[in-house]
Structures are given as structure tokens and as C-alpha cells.
Structure 1
Amino acid sequence: MLNKKEIQKKIYSITNTKKITKVMEMISIIKMKKIKNKINNMFDYFHTLTEIIKKLIYLMKSKKETNIFISSKKVTRIAFIIVLTSKGLCGGLNNNLFKKVIPYLKNLSSKKIIYKLIILGKKEINFFNQFQNNIKIYDNNFFKKLNYLNSTKTFKTLFSDYKLNKFDKILIAFNQIRNKSNYTSVIKTLFPVSLKNNNNNKINQNSWDYVYESNINLLLKNLFNQFFNIKIYYSVLENLFSEYSSRVISMKNATENSSNLIQELNLFYNKLRQDSITQELTEIISGASEVLMD
């Protein structure tokens, strides 16, 4: 059974932990707001570029034109980008992503499809030890130098590999924002780009058309390169926002649990203190009674 001194030490230790978790919660809120501002600043550009890509694909298909970035083919080689967290203490964020990704990878193996992994982040890498031979890039310092320019440099080779038909498909797995405190793990196809799951009837072909002033292949290469890089960077920011959001919740829960534990320990300490006082009073009364009887 704990004595009063040990309980005081525990209360002191938990109080210090509570201060740390509260500070980490506040820091995560600040970082989350910064990432949200970056996402908001990119939102219009990213979605305008996406709409242009959709219209181009629709136009090319209507003219029966083909291009490596939109043409579907038999998939035998896949590049798979997996976005992990930059740090820990963010709940089950990575585990939820693994539950989505690992069965998918095992399914690819069962179909004898060759795949290479590009892993960003340094947490929970042990989950991918079983796929060690498939890891093409493991960038554990990716988030330390995170900006659009460095992100573009990281994936420049991957884009070139796709153009050279070294890969038939490029996927990305990350945690996508649903709302301020909720996210979902998703796997999305970067290339080939498709109109699948989009309502083509909403595109009014008579209201627009594109006149290519330069070589169409050069235009598409530059346009899809821009789309490829901005899509990856946008996905990384969404995952980072989900990380900070999850850490805010985890630290808030830890702070509340610390408060509850401190309260319970204070009650237990007061009970022991009261029992000790009662025992001392009982001993004093007993001693006084024996003196009076003598």
C-alpha cells in the first residue's frame, strides 16, 4: 500500500505530465492552423487544375486521342506512395492507414503484381518489415524539409519512371480530411488519371474547347507533371493536418485523464492523512485514559 510520501510524488509527477500534454495540445493546435491555411491557399488552384484535367481527358476521349497519362493498360508494375506521420502520439492514425494498405499489398502479391513502396515519414516503419524487399524509397526526413519545391524534387524521378513505362500505375495512401476532428484512410490513383466516378453530364462540351498552340504532348506532359506534384503535396498536407488534429485529441484526453487521476490521488491522500490523524488521536486518548486510571 502506498504511503503519503509516495502519493505526493505521484501527484507531482502526474501534474508535470499534465503540463506537458497541455503544452503539446496547444502547439498541435497552432501547427494545425498553419497547415489548414496552406491547404486553403492551395484549394482554388488545385481544384481548378483538376477541372482542367477532367475537361482535357473528356475532350481527348471524345476525339479518340490517347496519352500515357490517361490510357488504362494491363497493370503489372505499381509504385505505391505511403504517407506516414512525422511524429508519434497521434492515436491510431497510422494503424488505420495500415489496415487499409497492408491487405491491399497482400492482394497485389497474390496476383503476382510487382510493386515498389515510397514511404514518407519515420513512425511505425516496423509494420512494413514484411515488405522490405519492395521498398524503393524510405524518406524519414521528408517532413523536416517539407515544402512544395522539395516535394517536387523527391518525386521527379518517379514521374520520369512512369513516362518511361517503368510503372503502369502510381497510387498514394494517406489520411484524408473529413472535418476538423475526423479523417479517413484512403488509397487513390495518381496515374493513369481517369474520369471514373465523375458525372460527365455536368461537363458542357459546347461551352468550352481548347486550342493547342504548341505540341500537345509537351503541353500534356507539363500539365500532368504539375497535377502530379500538386496532388501529392496536397495529400501530404491533408495527412499532416489529420496528424495534428489527432494529436490534439490525444493530448486533450491525456490532460483530462491526468486531472482525473490527480483528483483520485488527492482523495486517497486526504483519506490516508485523515486516517493517520484519527489514529494519532486514538493513541493520545488511550494514553490519557490509562494515566487517569492510574
Structure 2
Amino acid sequence: MINKKSIKNKIVSFSSIKKITKAMEMISIIKMKKLELKKKKIFPYLDVLKKITKNLIFLSQIQKQKNIFLFKKKKITKVIIIVVLTSKGLCGSLNNNLFKFILPYLKNFLSKNISYELIIFGKKENNFLSQFKKKIKIYNCNFFKKSFSKNIFKISNILFKDYKLNFFDKVFIVFNKFFNKITYKPVFKQLLPIAINIKKNFYKNNWDYIYESNSMLLLEKVFKKYFKIMIYNSFLENLVSEYSSRTISMKNASENSSNLIQELQIIYNKARQDSITQELTEIISGASVI
């Protein structure tokens, strides 16, 4: 016989889970909207920095200053890859998809005898970390908790300085880029050296800025800011993708809880009807005997 009490307890448990997942869904939506707004505010500044950098690179090409360390071509022997993970769990397969996406790039580096080191920020993923433990230079799982922007600018300054001193040849970043509420894809982006393509007819007329100091010194300082904001924007993109993914996961969990509650309620009602029918049958049988 079906235990009505255990079914009732399950219904109560699933109802509690549904309340929690619904609350988490609403929190994720609010946080996602706040981060989207912050991302939109940064975009104009990032766009202007990119335009200024393009202009300065174009001018450096006219002046035939091609050996500047920011965009010189040299033999690649070592690269740094920044891997941006989620700040917390319960966000579907976001991290796993990122790892699957990065693996071909890592294999490609090994096939070309290029050594690499990983700088990982975000939630710990044991399966991934155990495979590449020797390759991890920095791992910080509490990165998102304190002074988020300050930590990003600090690590970007260190990377820029180390690149200038030729400790490595290229810097890449891997993150989830947000497109809309249901679409976010992993992106493998080169940060250093500068990877901005400029067409031959970028400017019809040759022109120049008025400098207060050396043009290449200005390019270095401007790009250093651009480099920082690119990393910061990448982290924001990943965070928006994380909250979007968590919103969908919690919505699915709430819907599954509702479906299970309905199924259990049907089973409970059938069990209750069976017990009532059995009691009535016993009463009628007893009455017929008398």
C-alpha cells in the first residue's frame, strides 16, 4: 500500500525547493540587469580607447616605428592564458563548455612546442585543475568577493610589466561572451601583442595628433588603459553570462519542481481515494453480515 504520509512529506519538500529556486532566479535576474547596465556604461570608454589606439598604431606605421614591443612580431615560445570561470555554482554547463572550448587551443600550443601557463579566476573545477595542475601559475577562487575592479587592474599591471620584460610572448583571455539572455559563447581573445587590423585605406589623408611627449610613450600609456579595460570588460561579460545561465537553470528547476509536485499530488489523491473506497467497502461488507 502507498504511504500517504511519505508522499505528503515529498510534496512539502519539493514546494520548499521551488520557493528557493524561484528566489534564486529573481536574484540572478536583478544582478544580471545591474551588470548589463555597468557593461553598457563601460562600452563608450572602451570604444574611444580602441579608436585612439588604432590611430596611434596607424601613425606609428607611417613613422615606420614597427619595433615597439606592443605589436612587434617575434618568435612565440611562451604564452599566458587568463581563464575566467564563474564566481559560484548552479549555473548549468557554463564552465564545462568553456573547458571544452579551450582544450583544442592548448593542444595546438603543445603541437607547436609553445609552452603555456594558466591564470585561473573563479569557481574551482576539480576535473580541469587536476589535468593542468602543473600549468597553473595563479589560481584565485575568491577573486569576485573583494575589490573586484582593483584586483583586475592589479593583475593587468603585473601582466603588462612582465610582457614588457619579455617573460612571455603573448597574453590571451578566455571567457563567456554575453549576446542575449539565452545566448553566451566562449571566446578566446588575444590581448598582447596588439591584435588590431588596420586596412591600408584606414585614413584617406595623413594626419597626426599634437603630442605633449613622445608618440610611442603615449601609445604605451593609452594601450595600458585599453588593456585594463579589455580584461575588466571580459570579466563583466562572463559574470553577465553566469547570472543569465543561473536564471535559466533556476527557472528549469522551478518548473521541474512544479511538475513533480503535480505528479505526487495525483498519486496522493489516488492513494486517498483508494483508502476511502476500501473503508466504504469494509463498512458495507460489515453491514451486509449483520
Deviation at 1:71, TM superposition (A): 1.5
Equivalences for residues 63-212 of structure 1 within 5 A: 63-66=63-66, 67-196=68-197, 201=201, 203-206=202-205, 208-212=207-211
Q: Does residue 62 in structure 1 map to residue 62 in structure 2? A: yes
Structure 2 stretches lacking a partner, 5+ long: none
Equivalences for residues 46-57 of structure 1 within 5 A: 46-57=46-57
Which residue identity does 1:60 align to in structure 2? S
What is the rounded CA distance, in whole Å, between the counterparts of 1:165 and 1:2 in structure 2? 72
TM-score normalised by length of structure 2: 0.95
Aligned to 1:222: 221
Q: Is the 8 A contact 1:176 1:186 kept in 2?
A: yes
Q: Is the 8 A contact 1:77 1:167 kept in 2?
A: yes
CA RMSD of aligned residues (A): 1.6
Q: Is the 8 A contact 2:2 2:271 kept in 1?
A: no
What is the rounded CA distance, in whole Å, between the counterparts of 2:206 and 2:148 in structure 1? 37
Deviation at 1:207, TM superposition (A): 7.4
Q: Is the 8 A contact 2:89 2:123 kept in 1?
A: no
The change in CA–CA distance for 1:146 and 1:83 in structure 2 (over 3 A counts) is farther
What is the rounded CA distance, in whole Å, between the counterparts of 1:152 and 1:55 in structure 2? 24
Equivalences for residues 261-272 of structure 1 within 5 A: 261-272=260-271
Aligned to 2:41: 41
Secondary structure at 2:69 match in 1: coil
What is the rounded CA distance, in whole Å, between the counterparts of 2:154 and 2:230 in structure 1? 14
The change in CA–CA distance for 1:125 and 1:217 in structure 2 (over 3 A counts) is farther
Aligned to 2:232: 233
Q: Deviations over 1:167-202 (max 9, x none)?
A: 110000000011233111010000111233x6564x
Secondary structure at 1:103 match in 2: helix
Aligned to 2:22: 22
Q: Is the 8 A contact 1:86 1:123 kept in 2?
A: no
What is the rounded CA distance, in whole Å, between the counterparts of 1:76 and 1:106 in structure 2? 15
Q: Deviations over 1:17-50 (max 9, x none)?
A: 0000000001111111111111011010011111
The change in CA–CA distance for 1:37 and 1:265 in structure 2 (over 3 A counts) is same
